[in-house]
Amino acid sequence: MCGIVGYVGARNATTLLVNGLKRLEYRGYDSAGVSLMNGQGVETRKAKGKIAMLEAAIEAQPIHGNIGIAHTRWATHGPPNECNAHPHHDCSGTISLVHNGIIENYSPLRAMLQKTGHTFVSDTDTEVLAHLIEAAFDGNLEEAVIDALALVEGTYGIAVISAKDPDKIVAARKGSPLLIGIGDGEHYVASDVAAILQHTRQVVYLDDGEMAILTRDSYRVCDLDAKTVKKGVSRIDWDLDKIEKGGFAHFMLKEIFEQPQTIENTMRGRSVDEDGFSKLGGLNLSKEFLQHLDQIIITACGTSWHSALIGELMIEEHARVRVEVEYASEFRYRNPIVSEQTLCVVISQSGETADTLAAMREAKRRGAKTLGLVNQVGSTIAREDDGGVYLHAGPEIGVASTKAFTSQVIALALLTLKLSRLRNMSVVQGREITQALAALPAQIQTILDSASDIEKIAEAFVDAENFLYLGRGYNFPVALEGALKLKEISYIHAEGYPAAEMKHGPIALIDENMPVVFIAPHDAVFDKVVSNVQEVKARGGRVIVITSREEPALAGKIDYEIRVPETIDMLYPVLTVIPLQLLAYYIAAKRGLNVDQPRNLAKSVTVE
């Protein structure tokens, strides 16, 4: 989604800001721009398309300055073009502003400003902010920003500069992430730490309703009544190489191959073998609450919603607690039954997904305790939940989520273990789970070692137009995830179904042009899936099976077989999803597509 970076210091800000934008490219965008204070006033360059286009515009007409703001835009109001790209300006061109989020009441505000003589040049909601600040400006930029924001409904993360109050950047946040970077004689503002990590590891996360005033030598955080707010400084402990490709053709491939390590990181210090128990330090939930809670709601979007479905099966099977899985976007607008004995588990890689955050806030308002399973440290969900389990998968850059998914399933398995052992599970059963967890990293590695076989299978399906993914039990959500991975990066239409549901409709689609992927490891429902394989083969479908050992019942009924190691039923998804990630990746890469930044998609969806 949109990205912000700003700088105030002694260096030439142009390259620094453009490089910062490049670090945000993975979030998805369709235009970019930069404004600098050039000594006389504000100067801006913008371009539609990739950052290379912005660089070309800057090369054609260079700009220089030590204070500036920059932005990557993902279009919401108005098409992606140079005019709608940020930064936006007031009538006089002295104020320049970048904005993430949506100003919901921009239409009446625009009409009101037009009546008082303001001229608009773009279709965006953002432009009203620049004009509101202009209307309120009386020599002090932060005061004008406070007055302007008082009129605004919606969400924003903004950074503003003004030639009439020239030595500062003013930033403010409501519903869209923003942080300050602290340097030596310089300060930064960014929507994502990746943009500034090259320069500083000391950051201050802004909360909703807060504003920051940055100068070369100081920063101050205050609320929107201008009252100073004391903030802690956080240290970022991951390195830049985590957000570089490290020799892989795409971030997605790198992240798929990182999974032995990333799930190990999710488990580290949390899975206790000898006691068949798990330690989750950040839960902030009493033993009594965990023993007596009567319902768990898990809410999430996209891939995180798929891991939630796996969590539901694990928790109900082992901990015997009722679980409801809800799309966050639906949950927030219905009238759910929530009590003080409800635990609301919120799953999000980014910790910034607008619907998931809103669903969590709604559950909290209704009295539930909230628990975030979040990857991005310091993100809004991680800061607002009552308790949390960080995934520790490291930054995920590819828009298609891969390593976050497997870490989410591991975190859910650890939670299941914790709940089950507190309620009804024996140490022997607990140990069976901890031992199976411990074996997973090496098992994933064996699948990755045969990636070239999967690449060959992908070759045969580069021109496919449709795909069906079928699985049962724990592997039904994996079927959904396999289909999502394929469609989002290869643009091939794909659907996931519970295998037996096929007979109730989708079977009509099956002919020799329909590839069908069965996720059929040797678990409790394996024999049932074999019957479904036969039904597809009998109708001429092209069958790819992900299974866990040689199976005479499948002989002659499948076209391609991909083997995964054996594990316990609840952990199969961590293994069976790996070939599906690779299959989607290789098909998309062979189609020559932009795997890491698929069209129309953003890494973190911070608008509703």
* Contact residues for ligand M6R, defined by CB under 6 A: 301-304, 348-350, 353, 356, 399-401, 484, 488, 601, 604-605
CB of 417 to ligand M6R, least distance (A): 22
State the distance between the two ends of the chain, measured CA to CA, in whole angstroms.
12
Peptide bond into 498 cis (omega under 30): no
CA pair distance 196, 143, nearest whole angstrom: 27
Candidates 396, 360, 298, 391; CA nearest to 596 is 396
Q: Is 80 left (phi over 0), alpha (psi -120 to 50) or beta?
A: beta
Nearer to ligand M6R, 94 or 604 (CB): 604
Structure tokens at 196: 């500034």
Query: Residues near 15 by Cβ (< 8 Å), separated by ≥ 6?
Result: none
- Are 365 and 357 in contact by the 8 Å Cβ rule? The answer is no
Nearer to ligand M6R, 303 or 406 (CB): 303
Candidates 272, 167, 274; CA nearest to 215 is 167
Nearer to ligand M6R, 14 or 303 (CB): 303
Candidate list 48, 168, 485, 603, residue with the active-site label: 603
CA pair distance 568, 577, nearest whole angstrom: 15
- Are 258 and 404 in contact by the 8 Å Cβ rule? The answer is no
Residue 91 annotated among the catalytic residues of the structure: no
Nearer to ligand M6R, 136 or 301 (CB): 301
- Are 589 and 250 in contact by the 8 Å Cβ rule? The answer is yes
Nearer to ligand M6R, 359 or 458 (CB): 359
Nearer to ligand M6R, 507 or 593 (CB): 593
Specify the amino acid at residue 393. A
Residue number closest to ligand M6R, CB atom = 302
CB of 514 to ligand M6R, least distance (A): 24
CB of 353 to ligand M6R, least distance (A): 3
Nearer to ligand M6R, 84 or 604 (CB): 604
Tokens 């129309």 belong to residue: 600
CA pair distance 128, 115, nearest whole angstrom: 13
Q: Is 272 left (phi over 0), alpha (psi -120 to 50) or beta?
A: beta
CB of 399 to ligand M6R, least distance (A): 5
Structure tokens at 377: 């440290």
CB of 259 to ligand M6R, least distance (A): 14
CB of 279 to ligand M6R, least distance (A): 24
Alpha carbon 321 to chain centroid distance? 28
CA pair distance 13, 35, nearest whole angstrom: 10
Name the CA radius of gyration of the chain, rounded: 25
Residue 503 annotated among the catalytic residues of the structure: no
Q: Residue count of the chain, please give it.
A: 608
Nearer to ligand M6R, 267 or 484 (CB): 484
Please state, in angstroms and as integers, the Cα–Cα distance from residue 245 to each residue in 5, 8, 200, following that order.
Answer: 22, 29, 21
Catalytic residue set: 2, 603
